[in-house]
Amino acid sequence: MIAICIPTRGYLFTETVESVLSNLEWFKHKIYFTKDLPIPDCFNEVTERALKDRPTHIWYVEEDVVPPKNALECMMELNKDYVAIDYPILPGQGCIGFYNGKVNWTGLGCTLIKTEALLKLKKPYFQSKTFFIHKDKRVTFEETDIPSSYGGQDIYLGLKLNKIGITLTVLDGKCRHLKIKEKGSEGNSGCHTIIEKG
């Protein structure tokens, strides 16, 4: 069974759900959502619930990422512990991170992890840290006044996996990344225009 974890912080794009559902045709699965939780709590909570059902894999899909057709099937065929598909976060910039010259972590927008690999880690699986990525590809963590809900949970997980010898495999292709461009008037706050990031 594959657990699909969608750690939403309160909104979810229809295109994301449609894409996830179209990928599940051949797989026994269960979908887990969160809402109204900040980062990293939304990732830890949905992971803990999924692990109780003993899935073979956890597929993380963030609320604003649209995986390509057959993404899950292609990731499963690789039979790797930690697999991701890139997506744009800024124009011309993806979410794959490097450390010591090697692919090391990814934004969690479309990431498949074998449960047995995840269970080798100490809890919490996700923790918000502020990381700085230097020109020489070194990654450092520094204490700052940025609140813990800021992010960095993806780098944190990737570095933890790498430390125990589990490295990221990147699948060719790209996901789409969506955002809300503009909101409507106060009388119609649900009205908005969706655009792709990057």
Average pLDDT score over residue span 87-113: 82
Q: Which residues contact 52 (CB under 8 A, 6 or more apart)?
A: none
More confident residue, 182 or 104: 104
The secondary structure element, H or E, covering residue 2 is strand 2-6
47: confidence class by pLDDT, cuts 50, 70, 90:
very high
More confident residue, 99 or 27: 27
0.85 cut: is pTM over it?
Answer: no
Number of domains, the chain: 1
**Residue 61 clears pLDDT 80, i.e. is over it:** yes
CATH number of the domain enclosing 39: 3.90.550.40
Q: Which residue has the tokens 């990431």?
A: 111
Nearest to 113 by CA among 47, 164, 65, 53: 47
Provide the pairing of β-strand 82-86 with 169-174. Answer: parallel
- Containing domain of residue 47, as a range? 2-196
Per cent of the chain over pLDDT 90 is 45
